[in-house]
Amino acid sequence: MTFSPIVARVKQKRIAELISSGKRLDGRGLTDYREIKLEVGVIERAEGSARVRLGKTEVMVGTKIEVGQPFPDIPNEGVLTVNAELVPLASPTFEPGPPDENSIELARVVDRGIRESKAIEVEKLCIEPGKKVFIVFVDIYVLNYDGNLIDASAMAALAALLNTKMFNYEVEGGEIKVKPGYAPLPMRNYPIAVTFAKINDKLVVDPWLEEEQVMETRLTITMEKDGKICAMQKGGYGYFSLEQVLEAAKIAREKTEELRKLMVKG
Amino acid sequence: MPKRKTEKKRSNMPQKKPEKLIEENDVRIDGRKLDELRPVKIEVGVLGNADGSAYIEQGKNKILAAIYGPKEVHPRHLALPDRSLLRCRYHMAPFSVEERKSPAPSRREVELSKVIREALEPSVFVEYYPRTSVDIFIEVLQADGGTRCAGLTAASLALADAGIPMRDLVVACAAGKVEGRLVLDLTDVEDKGGEVDLPLALMPNLNGITLLQMDGDLTVDEFEKVVNLALDGCRRLYALQKETLKSKYVVKEAVEE
């Protein structure tokens, strides 16, 4: 392994010092992403799938669609369920067992982005109001952890949803009859998450693992295709000033545009 | 055992979804103005066994917070060599909401426990008590929107009540957008029927934002306004927080004879 979960004090200091002078240890600018590689349709068994590499961080997302009951308060809408697994093979710090707070937070932040931007046209996923709807399962599988899981997972989740195919069907007396052919999952928005780390009172975009060890705190901003903010999450033990939060929102606007171009054509 | 189906009983509180949450004259469903907080009542030192405790009522929210520590860490291997381990459990009572909530921690509660802990930690001098833990318990007895914020406000007071050295108090308040209008301190109906909810926590003297979450949709300009509205609410609650501590701990100086 080229990285370890513990970063030497000297290196921590170096990372922080470089950032105060506007540079980063891996040569990136403060608002540069690492190289992003996107593959879709990597798992044939899944209804949709994608694998995102963000530098050395690697996340796979698979979607599955099942028929189930809607929530009683929204009887004519399909259901979205997001789950994240920090698979033990992804990092020496990940342990097997039920989801811990980190994986729950990861799943819920990605979920909020998709849900609040109304990315999936859930009203088209109703089969029989109050009785049968489609349930879209988005399962995030972290394969290699090198920092910034939120952005990588949000990207992979969006790519997998865009890649998702649903079987054609017709309803006969409350029963679903499968017809030949597939249609894409109805989507109307493309939420993109941008995560900032605060190090030495400066904001950097897309922190990698060692920067995450040094950072005081982080902020994730998810934006819709028209540049509106649809979700936010602050994490970590530090704090932000009002100016930093507003600055982050401005940078996020540019970055999400940039990433969305990459995603939607890819 | 198969899950028993329970008939949904008639609601205890009038919960019929109102047609309009804000009237034309900017009056909200509970009679408040757009930038008005709900009535708030805070007390500290309300529990006998805890090292520090606080109780808050904000509108219909009723929340207890308690602190145990600094104390020995259990299990031992979690102890940190250079600082105290801060732990937090945000939990809702089964009877706190309309339909009974299972007492097992939900994913929402796990996430909120994490963000609340991370919102309080910057205010605490954790490095003063290495190899110990400080446990924060937040019990929501009745919920009506904005419980994470009210719970945080109470928990910070409970930490102060426990005599734990702190850089600042932490105070939290939500703002959001309902029917296109920016509003402060959303109730449950406003949160569910509205467009945006943005909970925020502040260390008022250090001007540090320690919790920031959002869901809904906002332009960058609207976002700035909502954040400022929430900050304003925090500062008003902070005055109450200070008042509460003073009323408990400041002893009137004896009048000289």
Within A78-217, residue ranges assigned H as helices are: 101-116, 149-163, 209-214
pLDDT of residue B68: 97
* Cα distances (Å, whole numbers) of residue A161 to A76, A83, A148, A189: 20, 14, 20, 11
Spatial CB neighbours of B135, under 8 Å, sequence gap ≥ 6:
B67, B68, B69, B71, B87, B88, B89
**Mean pLDDT of all residues in chain A?**
92
Which two structure tokens, joined as six digits, stand for A133?
């709807």
Q: Answer whether A253 sits within 8 Å of B220, measured CB to CB.
A: yes
Spatial CB neighbours of A253, under 8 Å, sequence gap ≥ 6:
A223, A227, B220
Q: ipTM value of the model? A: 0.87
**Which of A232, A251, A257 should be substituted to probe chain B, the one whose Cβ sees the most B Cβ atoms within 10 Å?**
A232
Q: Answer whether A239 sits within 8 Å of B224, measured CB to CB.
A: no
Q: How far apart are the first and last CA of chain B?
A: 75
pLDDT of residue B11: 56
pLDDT of residue A2: 33
Per-residue confidence band for A1, with pLDDT thresholds at 50, 70 and 90: very low
| Percent of chain A whose predicted confidence (pLDDT) is above 90 | 82
Would you mind telling me the total number of residues written for chain A in this entry? 266
Half-sphere exposure of B203 (CA within 13 A, CB side): 22
Q: Answer whether A234 sits within 8 Å of B113, measured CB to CB.
A: no
Q: Which residues of B touch A104 (CB under 8 A)?
A: 107, 110-111, 114
Tell me the backbone φ, ψ of residue A139, rounded to 5 degrees.
-110, 120
B182–chain A Cβ distance below 8 A for any pair: no
Give the whole-angstrom CA distance, residue A210 versus residue A141: 21
Residue ranges of E strands in B19-170: 40-44, 52-58, 61-72, 85-92, 132-142
Q: Which of residues 185-204 of B touch A (CB under 8 A)?
A: 198, 203
pLDDT tens-place string over residues A157-187: 999 999 999 988 887 777 788 888 899 999 9
Note the pTM of the prediction, 2 decimals: 0.90
Other C-beta atoms within 10 Å of A3: how many? 17
| Percent of chain B whose predicted confidence (pLDDT) is above 70 | 91
The domains of chain B, with CATH numbers, are 40-245 (3.30.230.70)
The domains of chain A, with CATH numbers, are 20-265 (3.30.230.70)
Work out the minimum CA distance from B95 to partner chain A, whole angstroms: 20
pLDDT tens-place string over residues B168-224: 999 999 999 999 999 999 999 999 999 999 999 999 999 999 999 999 999 999 999
* Cα distances (Å, whole numbers) of residue B181 to A84, B173, B195, B237: 35, 17, 9, 22
User: Among A18-22, A110-114, A170-174, B58-62, which stretch is predicted with the lowest mean pLDDT?
Assistant: A170-174
Would you mind telling me the total number of residues written for chain B in this entry? 257
A75–chain B Cβ distance below 8 A for any pair: no
In B, minimum Cα distance to A233 occurs at B213
Per-residue confidence band for B251, with pLDDT thresholds at 50, 70 and 90: confident
Residues B139/B49, Cβ–Cβ less than 8 Å? no
Q: How far apart are the first and last CA of chain A?
A: 30
pLDDT tens-place string over residues B72-88: 999 999 999 999 999 99
